[in-house]
Amino acid sequence: MYMYTVSSDSSRPQVLTERDYEDYGLHEYNYEFPLNVSIPNNRLPEGYSIRSVSNEQDYLKYIEVIGSVYDHCRQHMTIEKMRFMTQAEFYHQDLTLAAVDDSGRFVGFCMFRLDPLTNIAEMELLDVHPDFRNQGLEEAMLSEGLQRVMKYRPILLCVVEVDVSEPLNEKLESAGFIRSVKMNMWGKMI
């Protein structure tokens, strides 16, 4: 069984220790983007464009590129789930981005959600196909996504549950995101 503690919670670690949980250490970070800072202007490399995901053909390409990065999405992300998600109140077509090469292949993805009740924005996804890394695509998609989401004037812009080993941490910090929460994972064999 697993539990998490956040850096600001002083009592939960003590309670978990008393119940024989083991602290497995730092597991993930949460980030916030200060709303008063400039958005970096990271340009796309030549031969690529960024566009919104707008139809079912796009959904299939989007699912494919996500599956190239996340194995669990390869199994569970389907066209039906994509259709369902696009009907959710938090979904905005202009905040679901794909990096596309000259041949029309989706090689990267970035998605922001915007809660309509709280006006809190969350960056859900950002990555590129393994064959297209280290070209500046992630940074360019992040810049474009930030520019688009800021048009909605969110009261908070965050990224949650980023694994400490992810290269995404460095990209977020270089774009101006600030680590707001550190989360430790605790476990116990039952």
**Strand 156-163 and strand 120-128: pairing?**
parallel
**What does the pLDDT read at residue 96?**
95
The DSSP-derived string for 21-36 is -EEEEEEEEEEE--TT
Locate tokens 């077509």: which residue?
93
Backbone CA torsion sign across 142, 143, 145, 149: positive
Domains of the chain with CATH codes:
36-154 (3.40.630.30)
Angle at 64 between CA 58 and CA 65, to 5 degrees: 90
pTM: 0.86
**What does the pLDDT read at residue 83?**
92
**What does the pLDDT read at residue 137?**
95
**What does the pLDDT read at residue 78?**
86
**What does the pLDDT read at residue 10?**
78
**What does the pLDDT read at residue 75?**
77
**What does the pLDDT read at residue 162?**
84
For the chain, the straight-line distance linking the first and the last C-alpha, in angstroms and rounded, comes to 7
Angle at 40 between CA 144 and CA 31, to 5 degrees: 85
Query: What digits encode the pLDDT tens for the residues 48-59?
Result: 999 999 999 999
Report in angstroms the alpha-carbon separations of 123 from 9, 13, 17, 33.
24, 28, 33, 10
Query: What digits encode the pLDDT tens for the residues 116-135?
Result: 999 999 998 889 999 999 99
* Distance in angstroms (rounded) separating the CA atoms of residues 135 and 138: 8
Taking 50 as the pLDDT cut, the residues of the chain under it are none
